[in-house]
Amino acid sequence: MKILLFAVAGLFLLISNVTFAEKKPDFKVLAIAENGGHHVQYSKAAKVWLDKLAEENNFTVDYVDNTAKINDAFLSRYQLFIQLDFPPYAWTPTAGTAFEKYIKEGKGGWIGFHHATLLGEFDDYPMWNWFSEFMGGIRYQDYISTFASGKVNVENKTHPVMIGVPASFTVNTEEWYTYDKSPRPNVEVLASVVESSYKPDSRIKMGDHPVVWSNPKIAARNVYIFMGHSPDLFENKAYTTMFKNAIFWAVGK
């Protein structure tokens, strides 16, 4: 009798383990980030944070550091594309075409950070005009290379990305890009930085300065979050709340 009971218990445990192992993730994320340079510490911190969030919320994240694998079939595996400090140039032609299709046809969501608006002619690569239009028709102009803290004001408190985010919060260490113009006329601005709050002050300013926005003209749910230089951002509750919200909103959860 005892042998039978042990056998039944063992079978139940085996079935339970198989069922658990076969539980499918709610969605899959592809994250791309540079494998070197002075943004790599941010990307490493982002990976730790993302992996923990994924484990707690039943989704998975795959990471790449170049665009060699990216094509239509590869992107079809993922419901969200996160561009962690990866610029809009040096993509393979196949990857660029596949990404445009993914975004324009709404095949998945997109969250871009920091380097995703490094738009212009860099390293002998031409401007990616479609990506510039996606980001509101902007071109990168300058940045605060010596870094500055800055106060960010939330402009659209009801947008799902901003739920639970304070009306204003401070980012301690950032490069604060400027562009040839504000993207505001072409996008939905969710937050902007108060340039008069820079510490130390800087001459590098652009006036109206959005730092979080979405392009509602695009089929894919998308949000760009400029802040993405320092790993200490993952100690900033306002930032991680915004990041988490962006993930679940972009995949329609």
In a domain, 17, yes or no: no
Q: In whole angstroms, give the CA distance from residue 190 to residue 183.
A: 12
In a domain, 67, yes or no: yes
What pTM did the predictor assign?
0.90
pLDDT per position as a tens digit, 135-184 = 999 999 999 999 999 999 999 999 999 999 999 999 999 999 999 999 99
CB contact set of 171 (below 8 Å; sequence gap of 6+) = 149, 150, 152, 193, 227, 233, 236, 239
Q: In whole angstroms, give the CA distance from residue 243 to residue 249.
A: 10
Range of the domain at 222: 27-250
pLDDT at position 22 is 57
In a domain, 8, yes or no: no
Number of domains in the chain: 1
Average pLDDT, the chain: 92
Maximum alpha-carbon separation in the chain: 83
Closest CA to 162 of 67, 246, 69: 246
In a domain, 164, yes or no: yes
In a domain, 12, yes or no: no
In a domain, 22, yes or no: no
Asked if 188 and 75 touch (Cβ cutoff 8 Å), the reply is no
Q: State yes or no: pLDDT of 19 exceeds 80.
A: no
Closest CA to 174 of 133, 116, 226: 226
Q: Locate the DSSP E strands across 175-228.
A: 178-179, 188-199, 210-214, 222-225
Q: How confident is the model at residue 36 (pLDDT cuts 50, 70, 90)?
A: confident
pLDDT per position as a tens digit, 91-137 = 999 999 999 999 999 999 999 999 999 999 999 999 999 999 999 99
CATH number assigned to the domain comprising residue 125: 3.40.50.880
In a domain, 143, yes or no: yes
Q: In whole angstroms, give the CA distance from residue 243 to residue 186.
A: 22
In a domain, 50, yes or no: yes
